[in-house]
Amino acid sequence: MSDKLRFTIEDREYAFKENWTVEDAKFLKKESGATVTTVIDYLDRRDPETVQAVVFLHKRANGEAVRFNDLLDLNIASFRWHLPNTEPCGACGGRGTIPTAPEPDAEESAKEEPDPTKASGTTRKKGTSKTG
């Protein structure tokens, strides 16, 4: 497990880039239309140009000799996210949706709900003009 966002494609795991150079960001935008702020959304949708560009940048960063067009045969369906400190995302069917905020605890949510009764503790007996 890792504390960094990772992804796997064709059984090869990569740590997702945290630092993007201007050169990398321009390459990504030119080849896929994605920016560093939209790349995760594009990958989540399995945008083929974005997958190809991101895998190319990660392979190059790892020192692999790779040409961009060498990646046209990638199995795009094999793309999987690995959320930080977890095993590969299986609950989402491998789609890998990245949560944007933690889900609130059910007990905590219940504690924060206001009491629907009046301050006196009694409920209203007569309805409004709309409810009868």
Output the CA torsion sign for 17, 97, 93, 77: negative
Q: Has residue 105 been placed in a domain?
A: no
Q: Which pLDDT score is estimated for 91?
A: 45
pLDDT, tens digit, for every residue of 102-112? Answer: 445 555 555 55
For 64, the domain range is 6-100
Q: Are the beta carbons of 43 and 53 closer than 8 angstroms?
A: no
Q: Which pLDDT score is estimated for 87?
A: 53
Q: Has residue 61 been placed in a domain?
A: yes
Q: Which pLDDT score is estimated for 98?
A: 44
Q: Which pLDDT score is estimated for 83?
A: 74
Q: Has residue 14 been placed in a domain?
A: yes
Q: Has residue 36 been placed in a domain?
A: yes
Count of domains forming the chain: 1
Q: Has residue 57 been placed in a domain?
A: yes
pTM of this structure: 0.62
**Residues of the chain under the 70 pLDDT cut:** 1-3, 85-132
